[in-house]
Amino acid sequence: SEIGGLENLEQLTLHDNRLTELPEELALLQNLKYLDLGANPFEVLPEVVGEIPNLTVSVSDSAQISEALLDLERRGQLTIYR
């Protein structure tokens, strides 16, 4: 996968790109520390963000967040900024 070739990537800004979903291959970016998804029309924050350890993700206020992702946030394994 093309995304898999970016395994050392630590920051990814996808702000305001009209995204409504993310590819499952995003989970290959295990060194990713910050993901900016703000101003994208996600109805629900994609679960794939929970597969990246110690990730900080920025998402728009309108995106719903699943209980599974909220649980990861409570355990300190994911940080979500709105």
SS3 34: strand
User: How far apart, in whole angstroms, are the C-alpha atoms of residue 39 and residue 15?
Assistant: 6
User: How far apart, in whole angstroms, are the C-alpha atoms of residue 64 and residue 3?
Assistant: 25
Q: Note the pLDDT of residue 11.
A: 98
User: How far apart, in whole angstroms, are the C-alpha atoms of residue 70 and residue 10?
Assistant: 22
User: How far apart, in whole angstroms, are the C-alpha atoms of residue 19 and residue 74?
Assistant: 26
Q: Note the pLDDT of residue 74.
A: 96
Q: Note the pLDDT of residue 38.
A: 96
SS3 81: strand
Residue 32 has pLDDT above 90, yes or no: yes
- pTM (two decimals): 0.93
Mean per-residue pLDDT for 34-62?
Answer: 96
